[in-house]
Amino acid sequence: MAVKSFRIEGMTCASCVRRVEKALTAVPGVSSAVVNLATEEATVMSEGVADEVLAKALKDRGYRLVEPESLDLALEEEAASKLALFRVIAAWVFTVPLMVPMIPGVHLHVPQIAQALLSGLVVFATGRRFFENAIKQLLHGETTMDTLVAMGAGISWTFAMAETLRGAEHPPFETAAALVAFLLVGKYLEAKAKHRATNALEALLELAPPVALRLSKKGDEEIVLTQLLSRGDLVRVKPGGAIPVDGRVVAGQADVAEALLTGEPMPVPKIPGDTVIAGAVVHGGSLDIQVEGVGRDTWLAKLGKQVEQAQGSRAPVQELADRISAVFVPGILILAALTLAGWWIHTGSFALAWRPAVTVLVIACPCALGLATPVAMAASLGTAARNGLLVRDAAAMERLAAITDLVFDKTGTLTYGCPSVVEVLPMETGLSSEVLRLAAALEQHSEHPIAKGILLAAKDLKLPAVEKFKDHPGGGVEGWIHGTRLRLGHPGWLGFASPTGPAGATVVGLADDHALQGVLMLADKPRPEGLRVIQALRAKGIKLHLLSGDREEVVEGLARELGLTEAKGGCTPTAKRERIQELQKGGAIVAFVGDGVNDGPALAQADAGIALPGLEAAQVAAPLNLLREGLEPLLLAHRLARRTRTVVRQNLAWAFGYNLLLVPLAAFGLLEKVGGPMLAGAAMGLSSLTVVLNALRLRKA
């Protein structure tokens, strides 16, 4: 058995996944096929089946299989995106002249033949894919959203043409054109967002630098591509550099910042024998590292795979419109046929029977149904973008509205994610009043996270010049200021006992040659709005949790401060994901809020993953990205999600209520007395207009 992975183009929803898997497994020789909608990939296990056979099986169902050896995939995707944008622009260029005469006070007269031509170009040219897919699905006995759109637009245009031929003054050509134009915009935006959301692994791998300093047996440095390194090679990482590989330190001492990777906010001292991971940043010294994992064998790459698995492991939830269309569309076609037959038998005249039948088709034409969700989502996504929320997966907005539990990461989410000076303790000595200023002077040229925290606290102070500066990796720094030698670093390196500080705080001492002059306490400070946001979410009935890779005592302290009763520290990325799975198995709908690479699997596993501003790799793993600093935008996102759900439900209720009320009247000929198909066309347009106007309420945050 051979196992191959392919890229699948044309999938839009969970029902597409089912059809692709069904088409592939129907091919003789294919034993299994698993399709991941999030990554748009299919993994096929087969024996002796050519790729061309699989491609043909999917082409017959309206999908495209991209073979593994295709080297022009990026170019093809770019060309497809440009073509989709061209169709959107063309559709609206042709639709606007049809809609402008509807504006009060505008006296633009478009000849009916021109209206028919413009509307026909939109429906049958720019909207050609809807008809092609609907026909292919019909040949296999299936109906989907494409069937609804093709039937709605086709019947609308045909009805308008019939009205033109019988001399009607205002045939509704704009209805068919607007339906297709709106849907093309929605498809284009959905495709763009989806494409950005499928590059989690690449974004993670890019955290590791593409080049490395390889050491020869003689100790000479050589710049090489990271991917050319092998297990057992030696690499050197200098201060400020990112580690390119997973490995073990064989020489040197330095602090390694792993906050984005592990959730530990403070730099971790590394000495020979300690393990390091790709993507972490070295501060305060150089490290010589023996390579143990490169590229896809690194911790980062394995994390990326977890993200992909989580994205594809959700239980498939079929789209509402697809579920309904499976019954609704055939039902309406049967009802129209019965109406035609019944009236033909009753009157004995086909000329009298066709109008009630056409009225049934037009009145039931699912234009409002087709617009109900995409127009509401388009308005909602625009409002979200203006208010700092990027939505990569529209379905996540619906899930966010229904969440029962919300899980917070700590570092960089509820806290700032970097060391800050929380207390300065001067000693009773001559330099005590100058502790912060002198410490900042010694650190003013350092890239160490601790140094950045001290410099931020002293940003308004005038710093003196430092002479004879010297760095002591793993210990601290020293220099001469105004003729006095000062040392700044760990109390143990300075030769003094470390005073007790707040839970999780890092203690840094300042000393001269005679005594300890002062102590600075640094810790990861909580965001000031955190308590207010947590109280607001709890007031909405949402159960709140805290999961962090930081130490238990630090996490428990923050949880007490913010009033969180469900908190756990020391969590690995896998542990976070597994805890979310436990909540989901218990029936909870879970949102997760985080900002680091270590949050990637949890962001992907959650029903609504929300990434705060920070690392692009974390944002790619999440369907919802907050683009503004702080936690306040989280409240806006939840409020907008709930409003969007309400509007979509209202739109669907209107669309179906309209059909349930008028379809029986049309079937029994009761609408013939007040206009028949003409009234049906007007009512159809009014239904769509009502849905659009209701959706536009979402333009306000």
Helix axes 173-196, 112-121, angle to 10 degrees: 20
Neighbours of 120 (CB within 10 A): 17
- 636 vs 614: CA distance, rounded Å: 19
3-state helix, strand, coil in the chain (%, to 5): 50, 20, 30
Q: For the CA atoms of 448, 453, 458, 459, what is the dihedral angle to 10 degrees?
A: 90
Of 434, 415, 416, the closest CA to residue 426 belongs to: 434
Paired residues of 519 in beta bridges:
425, 509
Q: What is the DSSP string of 295-337?
A: GGGSHHHHHHHHHHHHHH-SPP---HHHHHHHHHHHHHHHHHH
- Rounded CA-CA distance 406/588 in Å is 10
**Closest to 602 (Cα-Cα) out of 644, 538, 547:** 547
Closest CA to 14 of 314, 297, 435, 399: 314
Q: List Cα–Cα distances, 49 to 17, 29, 44, 56, 377, in angstroms.
A: 21, 6, 10, 12, 41
Q: Token pair for residue 309?
A: 């698995």
The tokens describing 94, both together, are: 């042709």
Catalytic residue status for 512: no
In 3-state terms, what secondary structure has residue 487? strand
Structure tokens given for 27? 């091919």
Which of 120, 115, 85, 122 lies closest to 97 in space, CA to CA?
Answer: 115
Q: How far apart are CA 84 and CA 14, in angstroms?
A: 22
- Cα–Cα dist 226/298, whole Å: 12
Residues 6+ apart with CB under 8 A from 54: 6, 24, 27, 30, 44, 46, 65
- List 409, 550, 595, 607, catalytic entry: 409
Report the catalytic residues. 409
